[in-house]
Structure 1
């Protein structure tokens, strides 16, 4: 055996090849394999304490545990969520700045604002879907109304004399109620409040006929007997409100009203990084402890999806909601 063969044993030759391949690998490939090697910023474009923020913090803790680096919540609220999402869209596409946002900043705001500082389709890439936020139609308990037919009968008896409340122009609650009144063929006036709190105050006082909002907002008042839940705007009954019918069951077929949460990254983020994030987020959502807390929050977890499936879902939502919002003629700028 030659000196060369004795020195370069099979094991040494394998190690040498590995070193050569590593030296030849592009720097980005090595960085992708090591991701994450420092804290990741998860931007929530809404105030702390809200429904979106609460779920984001729950999942950030799980992502931190899985990936070995802190996922730090950064609340950047304003302009209907546009400020925070724009900040991520303009960040380096390296996986260290992510947006945890909603249907609103992805599609609804496209129809509500004449000009946005970012393109939600071109400047951002979907990572994973997390939860769907169904809306619940509620009336003051003092009204005595307990069913959808009873509510519609009242609204039709005095056209134009009743009001519905929303948390503001262009919010999910506004759009949901607008579509509901159209489908039901009733003439009801919209009152836009500056947030959910004032809207619920007037609803509880009986100054407003009805409203739609997320379970996290209305469930405590339903359980306290202050609001009557008429229907949930999703295909199946909710575990947190098992005795409340769907709109289909209540007599209005195919009415859907909801929002959803998801994670996005800046366009151009490497695919291996996106795949890691997708897998980790799916695992976080499915974790039994997280799943229980998600259910208690009154939201519905999405099943695990690949990035391709997530993108397909989002584009279908975009194609539905953007034209619908534009037909409402509401502009926020």
Structure 2
């Protein structure tokens, strides 16, 4: 599309005005005319860019453009024209906002947990759709361990948004509170929320060999036996700890935790093996492993299509228990604001695609994006205030 400013300067309201000279012209005339036409074609996009985006430089563009109407000038000073165009192009490139040039190469998307969990699922869907929106490859890079801090550290010192992270309520809301002493950098000065991506309900599950058929029956059997809930988790300091503590209090049970560094699939394996007796696993992992566990309840406001006969926590008699397991996109705090906005808008476009909707519907998760990065950050700050109050009780849990 040719901008109105470009047409006005060139006097070329139709392509006919820019056609090459006919065959009756002499070879030298054709050469000079062809050079002028070629230079017009090269310069026209630059003129349009300047007039539309950079009015301050458009005067310089008009001066160069006006010279193309002087046949003697274009014939006598071909090198001057080329040098002028080169200088103009350099000025345009330097003056463009950073976001207009982003991205011009592949993007690395950090994941803090092993594949198989909700964070990895959300990251894979986002990467597939984001590269369609941005026109550059988006590669996944798993950095596990240290309460998610190893993944967070990848953002430290970055400033161009070519390294991003898909984090979660655990790594980007709880870890900065529960494990602040283990973070060797200032989290709030290095990590910036961009947008929430999705919410994954949890499935409250026990081993398939367990005799209980309801959550109340299961808790009652523990009360009469060991008197203890042993939860499977990635590490201490997660929302699963909080939910299990609340659940145990309703039945007068003690709580211990059994960690597994291999993510959701490892936690499920420990549950089946009897190393833990309860797990709150995300619905993506649960949906992929139906038949390997006994579901007793689901968190969230409604029943899940993949588990239609399993009651919600409210229906099971435990209203208010069940933390939102969200995933979100994060960048370095040093990223230019216009690039952050570019990434935010691109992520929203990616998550609105039919393919993304189908992928999350498949596992009964819900797409939930943030209107602005600031709104997402405010939500996380409110959560962190709650984790601060619960930190002593959570970190006091014994390990099994």
| TM-score between the two structures when normalised by the length of structure 1 | 0.83
1:75 aligns with 2:142: yes
> Residues 32 and 190 of structure 1: is their aligned pair in 2 closer, same or farther, counting only changes over 3 Å?
same
Larger CA deviation: 201-210 vs 68-77: 201-210
Cα distance, 1:205 vs structure 2: 4.8
Is there any run of 5+ residues in structure 1 with no aligned partner, and where?
1-8
Cα distance, 1:167 vs structure 2: 3.7
1:174 alignment partner, one of 241, 255, 258: 241
Q: Secondary structure at the match of 2:110?
A: strand
**Alpha-carbon distance in structure 2 between the residues aligned to 1:137 and 1:28:** 55
Cα distance, 1:49 vs structure 2: 4.7
Corresponding residue for residue 203 of structure 1 = 271
**Alpha-carbon distance in structure 2 between the residues aligned to 1:255 and 1:218:** 19
Corresponding residue for residue 9 of structure 2 = 11
**Alpha-carbon distance in structure 2 between the residues aligned to 1:181 and 1:274:** 42
Contact 1:47–1:75 under 8 Å retained in 2: yes
Contact 2:256–2:397 under 8 Å retained in 1: no
1:137 aligns with 2:213: no
Aligned length: 320
**Alpha-carbon distance in structure 2 between the residues aligned to 1:317 and 1:124:** 16
Contact 1:168–1:174 under 8 Å retained in 2: no
**Alpha-carbon distance in structure 1 between the residues aligned to 2:266 and 2:135:** 42
Corresponding residue for residue 286 of structure 1 = 352
1:225-236 equivalences under 5 Å are: 226-236=292-302
**Alpha-carbon distance in structure 1 between the residues aligned to 2:337 and 2:149:** 25
**Alpha-carbon distance in structure 2 between the residues aligned to 1:102 and 1:83:** 14
Is there any run of 5+ residues in structure 2 with no aligned partner, and where?
1-6, 11-46, 59-87
Corresponding residue for residue 314 of structure 2 = 248
1:20 alignment partner, one of 44, 56, 64: 56
**Alpha-carbon distance in structure 1 between the residues aligned to 2:205 and 2:119:** 21
1:258-277 equivalences under 5 Å are: 258-277=324-343
Cα distance, 1:65 vs structure 2: 1.0
1:209-228 equivalences under 5 Å are: 209-221=277-289, 223-224=290-291, 226-228=292-294
**Alpha-carbon distance in structure 1 between the residues aligned to 2:343 and 2:266:** 38
Higher relative CO (CA 8 A, sep ≥ 6), structure 1 or 2? Answer: 1
1:158-169 equivalences under 5 Å are: 158=225, 160=227, 163-169=230-236
**Alpha-carbon distance in structure 2 between the residues aligned to 1:132 and 1:198:** 21
**Alpha-carbon distance in structure 1 between the residues aligned to 2:93 and 2:120:** 37
Cα distance, 1:294 vs structure 2: 1.7
Q: Secondary structure at the match of 1:249?
A: coil
1:42-191 equivalences under 5 Å are: 42-91=109-158, 93-113=159-179, 114-158=181-225, 160=227, 163-182=230-249, 184-191=250-257
Q: How big is each residue's C-alpha offset from its partner over 1:178-237, in whole Å with a ceiling of 9 and x where there is no partner? A: 23213x14213424132445543453355643222122333344x32x422111122232
> Residues 211 and 324 of structure 1: is their aligned pair in 2 closer, same or farther, counting only changes over 3 Å?
same
Larger Rg: 2
Q: How big is each residue's C-alpha offset from its partner over 1:120-142, in whole Å with a ceiling of 9 and x where there is no partner? A: 33322211111122221112333
> Residues 230 and 158 of structure 1: is their aligned pair in 2 closer, same or farther, counting only changes over 3 Å?
same
Q: How big is each residue's C-alpha offset from its partner over 1:223-265, in whole Å with a ceiling of 9 and x where there is no partner? A: 32x4221111222322332322211121112112342211111
**Alpha-carbon distance in structure 2 between the residues aligned to 1:10 and 1:220:** 61
Larger CA deviation: 161-170 vs 293-302: 161-170
| TM-score between the two structures when normalised by the length of structure 2 | 0.70
Over the residues paired in the alignment, what is the CA RMSD in angstroms?
A: 3.1
**Alpha-carbon distance in structure 1 between the residues aligned to 2:189 and 2:397:** 22
> Residues 181 and 29 of structure 1: is their aligned pair in 2 closer, same or farther, counting only changes over 3 Å?
farther
**Alpha-carbon distance in structure 2 between the residues aligned to 1:43 and 1:163:** 31
